[in-house]
A and B are shown apart, each in its own frame.
Chain A
């Protein structure tokens, strides 16, 4: 599903590469943690997979397609196959939970009728049934992240990328979000999560890839934070 081949990424003006000759493969339906200290380069992986940055060397394949060689006008269609959640939720503050999710559908050309059918369903799935018409500021952090997950998942993406999704949440809420991501993973969606939350990694017992100074130092099938 995801292949990184000898990927090196050095940001302009950076003294050393964020990713240095990284090669890794992720199968369909896997749940993978990328862990490592701040600045180790783990977030760069998410950016590479979204084609927000391009590698200096090496190839990135997602779902059988070479992302590095992709023409810019093809990126939007490519991103529709990928859901994404972030530490800071990135919800639109002047739209309700329902409207936030529906917005993601409407801007890629789905009709309002489709949104009316699909959005309540996915909000129910993330456990926000009954709170569709609350605005983000009326929701707790955990609930806001659920809206973000609903938005990422509403298109049934092949891959869900999560960049420190529990970074702003307390431990209990974090575990609830992880349960949600686990449920989504069980539907067959590949989940790639970047985190430095050791509790969560230890509880989930999923594949752990540890990155330090831009290199993979550990790749363990049912790993702990270590």
Chain B
């Protein structure tokens, strides 16, 4: 009986003030979409780091005039280095073959380079890619070493871009969250005002505090859940239209974003929406109804 009463109060309350309710749900949805997007970027970056850091290597290019002794001693010290996971020697011929396949669709580039022009190198995989600096310092001055290039630098650039996109999404999410918060507070005040007589009577006859507050708090919670469902819809749409659609060429570069990861965002967003809206509603009521 009481549950039915509370639920019907919630529905009546949401409908009575329907424009505010819609505004509340939309801001909530946008905020939660941003939150979900930044969550997805976060997991994506983590996945990419795990995936690529295994594959990237430090390239130690050798000078053309390097002697066999120098090369052998260099290889030996690399193999003995505790920081190093594996060492692969790439001769001039191998470098040229690799180059040919890499640029096979641009024959002009391939023609411009002759075999033997490309330097030989050691491809060094590190146990921990973050320790590049130590490895660089150990080998940069060695005889026969020309240049040391860390492929991680390139990846870092991509991660930096993703990171700033994530930051922007988080900033947008928080700004929208503030707007949503204010709207929730306002909606609850309007609802409480329109029911001030009922509330006064309820307090007078000794209705418990939770019973007085529950319809208002639940109003906000329902709005929060609707907002998170709409926000999730926007995320799913974004995956279909952008990542799998117009931006698919770019996303081939990234690790694929599975539906499972998108789906996990739904409960997270619902939880965030519910928590934010119910706490705001409750705090508003504490001040406004003084129950």
Inter-chain contacts of B5 with A (CB < 8 A): 106
B201 touches A103 (CB 8 A): yes
Interchain CB contact under 8 A, A79 and B1: no
Interface size on A, residues (CB 8 A): 24
Report B's interface with A, CB cutoff 8 A: 1-2, 5, 197-198, 200-209, 211-212
Are A78 and B2 touching (Cβ within 8 A)?
Answer: no
Q: Is the CB of B202 within 8 A of A107?
A: yes
Most chain B CB within 10 A, of A78, A106, A151, is at: A106
- Docked Cα-Cα span, A92 to B208, in Å, equals 19
A116: Cβ under 8 A from any B Cβ: no
Q: Are A76 and B209 in contact (CB under 8 A)?
A: yes
Q: Is the interface of B mostly helix, strand, loop or mixed?
A: helix
Shortest distance between the CB of B4 and any CB in chain A (Å): 10
A76-B198 contact in complex given A106-B1, A109-B2, C-beta closer than 8 Å: no
Residue numbers in A under 8 Å from B205 (CB-CB): 79-80, 104, 107-108, 151, 155
With an 8 A cutoff between CB atoms, is A198 at the interface? no
A161 shortest CB reach to chain B, Å: 10
Known A90-B197, A93-B197, A112-B1; contact A79-B209, beta-carbon cutoff 8 A: no
Distance of B282 from chain A, by nearest CB (Å): 15
Closest to B211 in A: A107
Cα distance, A79 to B202, chains bound together (Å): 10
CA distance A93 to B194 in the complex (A): 13
Q: Is the CB of A104 within 8 A of B201?
A: yes
User: Would you give 14 A-B contacts (Cβ < 8 Å), ordered by A?
Assistant: A73-B209, A76-B209, A79-B204, A80-B205, A80-B206, A90-B204, A103-B198, A104-B205, A106-B1, A107-B211, A109-B208, A111-B1, A151-B201, A151-B205
6 closest residue pairs by CB, A with B: A79-B206, A80-B206, A107-B207, A104-B205, A76-B206, A76-B208
